[in-house]
């Protein structure tokens, strides 16, 4: 089962948009697919891409091969991910804390207990925090995710973005 975030709403029922869990897999495979390209894939193919693991280098190689096969069948172009290779360390607990502090201020939305729970999050959950903490995004989805993951104070006292 792949991680389905409540904040994504009906995305998982329709798979009309690329879920955050698949975005992580695409980043690790260093490939991009357009929204139109994603929608050109059959629902069964999109569902398979949601569920295929990327836990090991072998898993990741299989994932990329399957994705390329699905894309070729559908006549969809995949493009290489721009920039440096994506490393899992980009969303390790220390990186997540740093990103949250950068985005939400020194205290962020985390109290001491939440900081302790952060290390127990899955890779998919930490990736989602990093993606939604991007300064180009509004803070609403990030705050919703922190609440969903039990990391928000929940008392409305989160710092405002800087």
Residue 126 confidence (pLDDT) above 50: yes
Do 35 and 55 lie in a common domain?
yes
pLDDT of residue 50: 97
Q: In this model, does residue 156 exceed pLDDT 50?
A: no
For residue 155, pLDDT over 60 is answered with no
Q: List the domain range (segments joined by +) for residue 73.
A: 6-80
Residue 72: strand, helix, or coil: helix
Domain boundary among 80, 98, 125: 80
Instruction: Provide, rounded to the nearest whole percent, the portion of the chain with pLDDT above 70.
Output: 89
The answer to whether residues 49 and 2 touch, using CB atoms and an 8 Å cutoff, is: no
Q: Quick one: 97 and 73 in the same domain?
A: no
pLDDT-based confidence at residue 39 (cuts at 50, 70, 90): very high
Q: Is residue 23 part of a domain?
A: yes
- Sign of the CA dihedral 58, 61, 64, 66? negative
Does residue 41 sit in the same domain as residue 73? yes
On whether both 39 and 58 belong to a single domain, the answer is yes
How far is residue 90's CA from residue 80's CA, in Å, rounded to a whole number? 18
Residues 21 and 38 in one domain: yes
pLDDT tens digits for range 42-99: 999 999 999 999 999 999 999 999 999 999 999 999 999 887 678 888 898 888 888 8
* Whether residues 71 and 102 fall in one domain: no
Instruction: Say whether both 33 and 60 belong to one domain.
Output: yes
Beta bridge partners of 79: 32
Q: In terms of domains, do 10 and 65 share one? A: yes
Asked whether residue 21 falls in the same domain as residue 72, the answer is: yes
Q: Which among 64, 80, 96 is the end of a domain?
A: 80
Residue 158 clears pLDDT 70, i.e. is over it: no
CB atoms within 10 A of CB 73: 12
| Per-residue pLDDT, 7 | 92
Please tell me whether residues 94 and 35 are part of one structural domain: no
Among 47-51, 117-121, 158-162, the range scoring the smallest mean pLDDT is: 158-162
Residues whose CB is less than 8 angstroms from the CB of residue 145 and which lie 6 or more positions away in sequence, other chains included = 5, 7, 128, 129, 132
Domains: count for the chain:
2
3-state SS, residue 157: coil
Does residue 95 sit in the same domain as residue 59?
A: no
pLDDT band at 121, cuts 50/70/90?
very high
Specify the pLDDT at position 157. 38
Same domain, 76 and 113: no
């Amino acid at each position: 089962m792949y991680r389905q975030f409540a904040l994504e709403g009906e995305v998982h029922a329709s798979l009309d948009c690329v879920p955050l869990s698949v975005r992580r897999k695409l980043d690790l495979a260093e490939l991009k697919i357009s929204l139109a390209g994603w929608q050109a894939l059959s629902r069964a193919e999109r569902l398979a891409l949601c569920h295929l693991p990327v836990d090991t280098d072998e898993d990741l190689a299989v994932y990329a091969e399957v994705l390329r096969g699905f894309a070729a069948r559908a006549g969809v172009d995949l493009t290489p991910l721009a920039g440096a290779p994506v490393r899992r360390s980009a969303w390790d607990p220390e990186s997540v804390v740093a990103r949250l502090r950068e985005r939400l201020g020194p205290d962020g939305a985390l109290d001491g207990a939440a900081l302790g729970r952060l290390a127990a999050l899955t890779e998919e959950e930490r990736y989602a925090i990093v993606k939604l903490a991007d300064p180009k995004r509004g803070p609403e989805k990030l705050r919703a995710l922190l609440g969903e993951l039990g990391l928000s104070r929940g008392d409305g006292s989160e710092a405002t973005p800087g």
